[in-house]
Chain A
Amino acid sequence: MTKNKKNQPPMPHGKRPKPKKGTLKRVLTILFKEYKLPLAIAIVCVLFSTLASTSASLFLNQIVSRIEAGLQVGWTAATSNSIVSLLAVMAGIYVVGIIATFTQGRIMAVVTQNFLNSLRKKMFSRMQNLPIKYFDTHPHGDTMSYYTNDIDTLRQLVSQAIPSLIMSALTITILVAYMLYLSIWMTLIVFSAVVAMMFVVKHVGGNSSKYFLRQQKAMGETEGYVEEMMSGQKVVKVFNHEEECCKDFDEINNRLFEEASKAHSFANILMPIMGNIGNILYVIIAFIGGILILSPNVHNLSFSGQALGLAVVIPFINMTRQFTMNITQISQHFNHIIMALAGAERIFELMDEEPEVDEGYVTLVNAKEVDGKIVECKERTGMWAWKHPHEDGTTTYTKLMGDVRMENMDFGYTPEKLVLHDVTLYAEPGQKVAFVGATGAGKTTVTNLINRFYDVADGKIRYDGININKIKKDDLRHSLGIVLQETNLFTGTVMENIRYGKLDATDEECIAAAKLANAHDFITRLPQGYETMLTSNGSNLSQGQRQLLSIARCAVADPPVMILDEATSSIDTRTEAIVQQGMDALMKGRTVFVIAHRLSTIQNSDVIMVLEKGRIIERGNHDKLIEEQGKYYQLYTGNFANN
């Protein structure tokens, strides 16, 4: 029943063969804190059902002695009564046990699922608050597997392993108590056998969990390879590379087979070994019991003070069986627990990631102008203002204009390597600022800084004169619209995807935005128009169509500042020219940052910044830069180099 699917090797940061010590405690703490009452009831229920099931051997003891008594007198009414009354008590206890089992099952069903649900939600909401850096530096497959595999291992831990561990522990305690009550000598014999079993569990079981972890790793490799080849399958075909791929795959696949068959072998062998140690123990107990009965000079040492007789030996033999069965049960959960804890550890790792910090206090509010002064108001006026509370208790309002200034900005994704050096630029409200330059020159980085996906290392960015570090991130991002080259659409209708830009937009607003982005035409040609479902990032659309949609999505948000990062790279120039008209209308009165390879996209910009290796090497409008005959001129004329 073990599930071993892993997207990535489970241990990204070096080898960690055993889960950390605190993990189990932490899982239990969360569990017991949130579900105190239901868990308490569940545990009481476990107690009752354990009592009911262990009392079986206790009663057997009684029945045997009553049968023995009955044998002397034959089947009389008295014998019958004594046996029936005993069975009636037994039945009563069983009914309690059954009710307890049932209640416990129902409670655990609710607790397990709610626990997982809240864990999932916590994890997700934690993840939403992580900085972009986290997503840029962690493989998405890894993060995905927290939700799929790791949560799944926890389900087994909570719903099965923990209750049955409690049950086994309780059973064992009761059994030991009763065994001591019957005979201390024989209990000691059972104990020595248990030590032997522990030894086996440690060796065979320990080995199997070692191989299970290795199997997970091999599984991760296989999955990685499959993922890579499946997504590159068309390239494989184009290059007739099928055979080589198969060969590589077979090798990885064989490795997985080796690990898997070892892991499962160990796990499978554990059961018969444990079971038969139980059988052998049974024989030993029976044998010793027999000898002890036959040797009248051996004194039984027990809490009951009972002499060693059949009434002691027979129940003892039965209890031995139950005892070993419970130990087997515990050992079977061994692998689950190891894997669940490894999973829990990864989940906690995600939950312990530092969230994005936001120390901003300047907020964006609806505003209106009263007597030439800006006043905050509740209703949507179309006019926005920055609400800036000062230390002295006063609050000032600054009209949202879209004035962006960067001063002497330095930045690097890692402290050792700067990608931007001393970048300074001013974008006045309504201006179109373009960035050009080779890939890796730092164009996208600039935009990452404006919306604070990353924070500048040195220098300042001001938005309407306010240092953006003082602005609440949410409000800052509300005031910026971004269209990226990588379009990310979500499962849902076309309409819903456009509405993502502004959740309370009416259908008309969405359609208007689509028209502006020139997306309306192709949308109406889709089978269900605006109600067409998009799946897996809009795979039923072409890249160009996806870009048009994401422009519409941004348009409906109506932000004062827009960033277009290669937003039209997959739209053919003719369509782009048409989009451009709409875009020009859209850009009117907005500050726009444009990044593009295609020079026709940026020609009409107010300022063009030419970036090279993180520095601005030229700036000015198209005409000025052409006149200068510098880098821009080279890039631009490269267009017609072969005429």
Chain B
Amino acid sequence: MHALKTLMKCIREYKKQTILSPLFIALEVLIEVMIPFITAKLIDSIEAQAAISEIAKHGGVLVLLAALSLTCGALSGHFCAVASSGFAKNLRHDLFHKVQDFSFSNIDKFSTSSLVTRLTTDVTNVQNSFMMVIRTAVRSPMMIIFSVIMTIQISKKLTLIFLTTIPFLIVGVTFIMKKVMPFFRKIFKKYDALNNSIQENISGIRAVKSFVREDYEKQKFGKASDEVCDNFTTADKLLAFTSPIMQSAIYVVMILICYVGAKTIISSGNTELTVGGLSSVMTYGMQVLMSLLMVSMIFVMISMSVTAANRIVEVLEEEGTIKNPENPVMQVKDGSISFENVSFAYSSTAERKTLENINLTINSGETVGIIGATGSSKTSLIQLISRLYDVNDGSVKVGGIDVKEYDVRTLRDAVSVVLQKNVLFSGTVSENLRWGNKDATDEEIRHACKLAQADEFVSAMPDGYNTMIERGGTNVSGGQKQRLCIARALLKKPHILVLDDSTSAVDTKTDALIRKAFRDEIPDTTKIIIAQRISSVQEADKIIVMDNGTVNGVGTHDELLATNEIYREVFETQTKAGDFDD
């Protein structure tokens, strides 16, 4: 119910259509129900061999009704299409905008593929149900009510006959649906697993082929596929009961009505009930039973899309964990950073803190290197600076002010992070670079690329800065991508620039040139460099050695060589050949 309320809010500007659609359907049904009634009169008048004018009168009314019903039906169909597509549009809109409000920890909770599914498949499912609800869910009950009213007009006795079959029908169909639903839920899960294994297989095809595991994969897939098949077959077999049940009800009703009807007509000498009346009752009876079947199908549809609806609501109700303070600071003074007793964990339930009791001071304009083993929390550390995550304890200050007091936009404009897992988007090189500053001039872009040592290869591309980058940046190499990402970050003209292992695919010489450019061209910017290579951080003003979520040592290259064991070890492993140190 609660989920429903949240979803309903997305109808918004399509309220008119959402209301008009069932309204016109109600009208359509009303007319449709009148049609057999008039038809009965028509038949009776034919039967009574009435004058042509009499037949024409009834016929004319019927044609008029048909035309009206067509208009109402078409209008409601149109409104329904607009309302449901609009509803889906708003859902997608809200989902997408909501995700834009997410913080990193919100994003971590949902995987990319699950977000995509929610925005596409799940929305489509809900849209279909919505369409069902405003059309069929109104139509069928109306049909039942009107039809029953009409049959009562014709013959109370016959009405009673088909009304008595209804409870049996409801019990039967409900029973089947109850049995089937759990299977469908299971099927969805199995389907997910199946799709996941296909996905893995496709993206890991090199591993599959190089280990010659094609047959093994086929077997694995076959098993998963069989499971889907078995469950689906069981569900479908159960569903196969619905039609016969439906038919039994219809046929029983028909035979009973025929008998009772015939008896009534003959006994009363065509007065209490007429032949035309009998055929109308049959039509109405059929309509009622069909409508009941439709209602049961709607239940199946809706309960199937409940899962989808819940998944959507889950995103819509996710609270962005990082919010602007009430009176945010709108300016970052300089690029100084300090960590005071900072502790941090990705989840509150984590046994071990990711960062524990960090104290650091970085002055504005300094170059700081961070080094440490895989999993020593280097990335976690720097992500706190631009408030990509919030600390659990202690505080991180930029320009002397706690990051939580800044306007998030202001802060992130001042602290430019080149992420380890970086992405370029489809669009031209310039368009990608303008993410850093959308008003950047061509010269500024070029300058940033020169600093990042990207100008040379960009210029060599067929269309230079207008070369299209393909989705996922597949047409540039790893090293080129990294350099473009650095250029993009530089265009922000930040107070603080953070490079998270951003030159790992760049050769050492270019890496050195980038650092030299930083030193010469942006001396006032605080530069924080996470790297694997000692050479990347060696000449930094300060090197931080991270170990297991704690700061193991801080100092210059020489100081650390003398005092820090980890640093020395790393240094030695990288210069073991040692021919040049001498």
A273 beta carbon closer than 8 Å to chain B:
yes
B566 nearest CB across to chain A (Å): 7
Q: How far is the CA of A106 from the CA of B266 in the complex (A)?
A: 43
Task: Please determine whether A71 and B247 come into contact, CB atoms closer than 8 angstroms.
Answer: no
Name which of B97, B201, B206 has the most chain A CB atoms within 10 A of its CB: B206
Identify the 5 closest CB pairs spanning chains A and B, nearest first.
A272-B73, A105-B240, A268-B77, A488-B204, A638-B509
Q: B314 contacts the other chain (Cβ, under 8 Å)? A: no
What residue in chain A is nearest B352 (Cβ atoms)?
A525
Contact B508 A500 (CB under 8 A): no
Whether A484 and B207, one on each chain, are in contact in the complex, defined by CB atoms closer than 8 angstroms, is yes
User: A101 an interface residue at 8 Å Cβ cutoff?
Assistant: yes
Judged by a CB distance under 8 angstroms, whether B325 is at the interface is: no
- Among A230, A254, A314, which residue has its beta carbon within 8 angstroms of that of B112? A230
B390-427 interface with A by 8 A CB criterion:
409, 412-413, 416-417, 419, 421-423, 425-426
Segment touching A, from B141-149, B213-221, B330-338: B213-221
Contacts A265-B78, A477-B210, A641-B509 known; A575 to B66 CB distance under 8 Å? no
Min CB distance B104 to A, Å, is 6
User: Is the C-beta of A395 less than 8 angstroms from some C-beta in chain B?
Assistant: no
Given contacts A265-B81, A477-B212, 11 further A-B pairs with CB under 8 A are: A49-B247, A101-B247, A106-B237, A222-B120, A231-B423, A231-B472, A237-B102, A268-B80, A283-B59, A283-B63, A310-B47
Q: Contacting A572 at CB < 8 Å: which of B42, B85, B372?
A: B372
Whether, in the assembled complex, A150 has its beta carbon less than 8 Å from a beta carbon of chain B, the answer is: no
Contact status A235-B266, CB under 8 Å? no
| Known contacts A70-B266, A228-B471: A249-B508 contact under CB 8 Å | no
In the bound complex, do residue A573 and residue B533 qualify as a contact, i.e. CB atoms below 8 Å apart? yes
Q: Find chain B residues with CB under 8 A from A573 CB.
A: 532-534, 570, 573-574
Contact pattern, B 521-549, Cβ under 8 Å of A = 1, otherwise 0: 00000000000111100110000000000
- How far apart sit A572 and B571, CA to CA, in the bound complex (Å)? 12
A52-83: CB near B (< 8 Å → 1, else 0) gives: 01001001100110111011001100011001
The listed residue (B62, B107, B573) touching A282 by CB distance below 8 A is B62
Q: Complex Cα distance A553/B208, Å?
A: 12
Contacts of B205 in A (CB 8 A): 132, 135
Determine how close the nearest CB of chain A comes to the CB of B15; give it in whole angstroms.
16
- 9 A–B contact pairs at CB < 8 A? A60-B279, A87-B255, A98-B244, A229-B96, A230-B115, A235-B435, A261-B85, A318-B279, A642-B516
Q: In the complex, which residues of chain A have a beta carbon less than 8 angstroms from the beta carbon of B508?
A: 599, 635-636, 638-639, 641
**Complex interface: stretch among A9-17, A123-131, A405-413:** A123-131
**Bound form: Cα–Cα A242–B413 in Å:** 13
Are B77 and A269 in contact, CB atoms less than 8 angstroms apart?
yes
Q: How many residues of B contact A (CB 8 A)?
A: 172
Query: Of the candidates B81, B112, B204, B532, which one forms a contact with A231 in the assembled complex, judged by CB atoms under 8 Å apart?
Result: B112
A575, B374: Cβ atoms closer than 8 Å = yes
Question: Which stretch in A25-33, A180-188, A327-335, A538-546 binds the other chain?
Answer: A538-546
**B275 / chain A contacts, CB cutoff of 8 Å:** 64, 67-68, 314
Residues in B with CB closer than 8 Å to A438 are 479, 507
Chain A 543-562: CB-based contact to B (< 8 A → 1; otherwise 0): 11100001001000100000
Chain B contact residues: helix, strand, loop or mixed: helix
The CA of A537 and the CA of B46, in the complex, are separated in Å by 75
Question: Which residues of chain B from 81 to 115 have any CB-CB distance to chain A below 8 Å in the complex?
Answer: 81-82, 84-86, 88-89, 92-93, 96-97, 99-104, 107, 111-113, 115
Cα–Cα, bound, A223→B112 (Å): 12
- Chain B residues contacting A144 (CB-CB under 8 Å) are 195, 198-199, 202
CB distance from A598 to the nearest CB of B (A): 7
Enumerate chain B residues within 8 angstroms of A108, measured Cβ to Cβ.
236, 240
| Contact A572 B373, CB 8 Å, known A283-B63, A290-B52, A640-B580 | yes
- In the complex, A626 has a CB within 8 A of chain B: yes
A543 to B510, CA, bound (A): 24
Q: Is B306 an interface residue (CB 8 A)?
A: no
Does B226 sit within 8 A of A, measured CB to CB? yes
Q: Which residues of A contact B312 (CB under 8 A)?
A: none
Cα–Cα, bound, A318→B276 (Å): 11
Q: Let me know if B259 is at the binding interface, CB within 8 A.
A: yes
Q: What residue in chain A is nearest B132 (Cβ atoms)?
A: A1
Given contacts A239-B436, A253-B89, A603-B576, contact A265 B259 (CB under 8 A): no
Contacting pair B419 A238 (CB below 8 A): yes
Across-interface contacts of A219 in B (CB, < 8 A): 120, 124
Contact B46 A290 (CB under 8 A): yes
Whether A67 contacts B266 by the Cβ 8 Å rule is yes
Q: Which of A74, A102, A237, A480 counts the most B-chain CB atoms under 10 A from its CB?
A: A237
Q: Report A-chain residues with C-beta under 8 Å of the C-beta of B516.
A: 642
B32-51 Cβ-contact flags toward A at 8 Å (1 or 0): 10010001001101110100
- Contacts A121-B225, A638-B508; A279 near B35 (Cβ below 8 A): yes
Tell me the nearest residue of chain B to A239, going by C-beta.
B435
Residues of A242-297 whose CB lies within 8 A of B: 242-246, 249-250, 253-254, 256-257, 260-265, 267-269, 271-273, 275-276, 279-280, 282-284, 286-287, 289-291, 293-294
Would B111 and A250 count as touching, CB distance under 8 A?
Answer: no
Judged by a CB distance under 8 angstroms, whether A503 is at the interface is yes
A148–B107 CA distance with the chains assembled, in angstroms: 25
Contact with A along B423-435 (1 / 0, CB 8 A): 1011000000001
Contact assessment for B438 and A71 in the assembled complex, using a CB-CB cutoff below 8 Å: no
- A460 at the B interface (CB under 8 A): no
B131 lies within 8 A of chain A by Cβ? yes
Cβ–Cβ < 8 Å partners of A271 in chain B: 73, 77
User: Does A570 make an interface contact (CB < 8 A)?
Assistant: yes
Quick check: is A388 within 8 A (CB to CB) of the other chain?
Answer: no
Cβ contact within 8 Å between A109 and B78: no
Among A71, A87, A310, A598, the residue within 8 A (CB) of B258 is: A87
Interface residue A227 (Cβ < 8 Å from any Cβ of B): yes
Chain A residues touching B, majority SS:
helix
Whole-angstrom CA separation of A129 from B251 in the bound complex:
54
Contacts of B218 in A (CB 8 A): 121, 124-125, 128
Q: Is B197 positioned at the interface, with any CB of A under 8 Å from its CB?
A: yes
Instruction: Say whether B561 faces chain A, with CB atoms less than 8 Å apart.
Output: no
- Contact: B200 with A491, CB < 8 Å? yes
Residues on A with C-beta less than 8 A from B206 are 132, 453, 482, 484, 486, 488
With contacts A121-B225, A268-B81, A488-B204 taken as known, whether A641 is within 8 angstroms of B512 at the C-beta atoms is yes
Does A4 sit within 8 A of B, measured CB to CB? yes
Measured between C-beta atoms, what is the minimum distance from B191 to chain A in Å? 8
The yes or no answer to A3 lying at the interface (CB within 8 A) is: yes
Residue A234 lies at the interface, judged by CB distance under 8 Å to chain B: yes
Across-interface contacts of A289 in B (CB, < 8 A): 46
Q: In the assembled complex, how far is the CB of residue A115 from the closest CB belonging to chain B, in whole angstroms?
A: 10
- Contact residue among B66, B67, B237, B267 (Cβ-Cβ distance under 8 Å from A110): B237
By a CB distance below 8 angstroms, the chain A residues around B76 are 268, 272
B375 touches A269 (CB 8 A): no
CB of B164 within 8 A of chain A?
no
A117 and B100 contacting across the interface, CB-CB below 8 Å: no
Cβ-defined partner of B254 (8 Å) among A56, A79, A140, A265: A56
Selected from B101, B237, B265, B374, the residue in CB contact (under 8 A) with A571 is B374
Which listed residue (B262, B270, B539) contacts A642, Cβ 8 A? B539
Tell me, yes or no, whether B364 is within 8 Å of chain A by CB: no
Instruction: Mark each residue of chain B from 238 to 263: 1 if its CB lies under 8 Å from any CB of chain A, else 0.
Output: 01110110011001001100110011
**In the assembled complex, B6 has its CB within 8 A of some CB on chain A:** no
- B50, closest chain A residue (CB): A290
B101 proximity list for chain A (CB < 8 A) = 242
Chain A residues in 8 Å Cβ range of B49? 293-294
Is B209 in contact with chain A by the CB < 8 A criterion? yes
The CA of A64 and the CA of B270, in the complex, are separated in Å by 12
CA distance A101 to B478 in the complex (A): 61
User: Is B569 an interface residue, CB under 8 A from the partner?
Assistant: yes
In this assembly, does B504 line the interface, its C-beta being within 8 Å of a C-beta of chain A?
A: yes
Interface stretch of the complex, out of A89-97, A368-376, A378-386, A508-516: A89-97
Bound Cα distance A99, B247 (Å)? 10
